[in-house]
């Protein structure tokens, strides 16, 4: 039977890289988004609003996917709103697909917030999750929209008799423009500004993140695990952590990134120095850089997601992930995190996103 994929959130880092990998493996691949683009060759765009079931019914009327890959979410002001909205995104889609009876597998991408919970949790309580985080660790007592999304998938799987997989990456790095959570491009833009202005590349995070062990997830590795889990019998109906497979300390990687751009670093000193604050008022500088080098995007806000980088790098604990579960079942994809960054920077230069 032909594999027909529906990638939900196909314009994001995870979704766009997944779509490319699916197409390269010969899958018929549809990409659902509010504003789909044609950046991925061979991807069939589907324009729909996940909060509007009628919009979904019309958009998916003639599409009968065998595999659904859910890679998107909507940021809201409170976790209660995150739960309400983001569970509805998944529920609406699966409700619309339910009468077709063609879905064999649903893969949901969440993240390490599953284990860490909100910042307030460990900031106020002073108790930290045990690392490296493992899939068998129980849910936390705090409200979490990841849990709500999982529960929607579990309920629909029982109703419609499909298998599922949950994927929990650490910070995802990869190529996608205009994404809400893009550390790679954010740091590339920041480093480019430092190079042009002669400023130091200031570490914006905590002492624990600077000195502690960490890991990351290349979008291509995540894409490979999503496809592997959806087509491997032993991997179905399970949750998996997914990272590149290496570990590093930011005090080492920060200097490697700086060396690539030919700039000087300024590491951790006494307290956190937020990148969001560092980039305040830099719009005009970026506009000048974009004009000077003929870059495609001169609006800094469309490239940088400093708030998300600050959240990741500001954690008061070291965070790393155990990958044993999927390794034991045969998932072997690996990527050097340093290479993930440097390859991304080169692509950004080639695409005229940074100078």
Active site residues per annotation: 113, 146
- Measured in whole angstroms, how far is the alpha carbon of residue 295 from the centre of its chain? 25
d(Cα 179, Cα 36) in Å, to the nearest integer? Answer: 13
* Three state DSSP letters for the chain: CCCEEEEECCCCHHHHHHHHHHHHCCCEEEEEECCCCCCCCCCEEEECCCCCHHHHHHHCCCCCCCEEEECCCCCCCCHHHHHHHHHHHHHHHHHHHHHHCCCCEEEEECCCHHHHCCHHHHHHHCCCCCCCECCCCCCCCCCCHHHHHHHHHHHHHHHHCCEEEEEEECCEECCCCCCCCCHHHHHHHHHHHHHHHCCCEECCCCHHHHHCEECCEEHHHHHHHHHHHHHCHHHCCEEEEECCCCCEEHHHHHHHHHHHHCCCEECCECECCCHHHHCCCCHHHHHHHHHHHCCCCCCHHHCCCHHHHHHHHCCCCCECECCHHHHHCCCCCCCCHHHHHHHHHHHHHHCCCCC
């Amino acid at each position: 039977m032909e594999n027909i994929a529906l990638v939900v959130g196909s314009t994001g880092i995870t979704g766009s890289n997944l779509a490319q990998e699916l197409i390269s493996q010969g899958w018929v691949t549809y990409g659902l988004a509010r504003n789909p683009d044609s950046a991925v060759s061979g991807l069939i765009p589907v324009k729909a609003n996940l909060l509007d079931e009628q919009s979904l019914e019309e958009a998916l009327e003639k599409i009968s996917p065998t595999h659904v890959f859910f890679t998107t979410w909507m940021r809201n002001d409170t976790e209660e709103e995150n739960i309400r909205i983001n569970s509805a995104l998944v529920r609406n889609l699966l409700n619309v697909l339910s009468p077709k009876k063609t879905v064999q597998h649903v893969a949901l991408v969440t993240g390490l917030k599953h284990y860490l919970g909100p910042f307030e949790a460990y900031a106020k309580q002073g108790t930290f999750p045990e690392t490296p985080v493992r899939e068998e660790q129980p849910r936390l007592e705090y409200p979490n929209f990841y849990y709500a999304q999982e529960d929607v998938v579990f309920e629909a799987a029982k109703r419609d008799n499909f298998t599922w997989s949950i994927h929990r990456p650490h910070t995802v790095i990869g190529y996608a423009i205009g994404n809400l959570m893009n550390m790679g491009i954010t740091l590339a833009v920041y480093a480019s500004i430092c190079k042009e202005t002669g400023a130091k590349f200031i570490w914006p995070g905590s002492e624990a993140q600077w000195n502690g062990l960490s890991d990351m997830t290349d979008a291509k590795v995540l894409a490979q695990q999503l496809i592997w889990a959806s087509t491997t019998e032993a991997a179905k109906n399970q949750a998996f952590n997914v990272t590149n497979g290496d570990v590093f300390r930011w005090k080492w990687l920060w200097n490697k990134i700086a060396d690539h751009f030919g700039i000087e670093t300024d590491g951790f000193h006494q307290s956190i120095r937020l990148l969001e604050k560092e980039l305040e008022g830099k719009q005009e500088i970026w506009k000048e850089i974009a004009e000077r080098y003929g870059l495609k995007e001169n609006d800094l806000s469309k490239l940088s997601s400093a708030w998300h980088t600050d959240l990741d790098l500001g954690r008061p604990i070291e965070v790393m992930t155990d990958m044993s579960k999927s390794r034991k079942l045969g998932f072997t994809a690996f990527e050097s995190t340093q290479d993930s960054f440097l390859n991304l920077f080169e692509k950004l230069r080639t695409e005229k996103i940074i100078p």
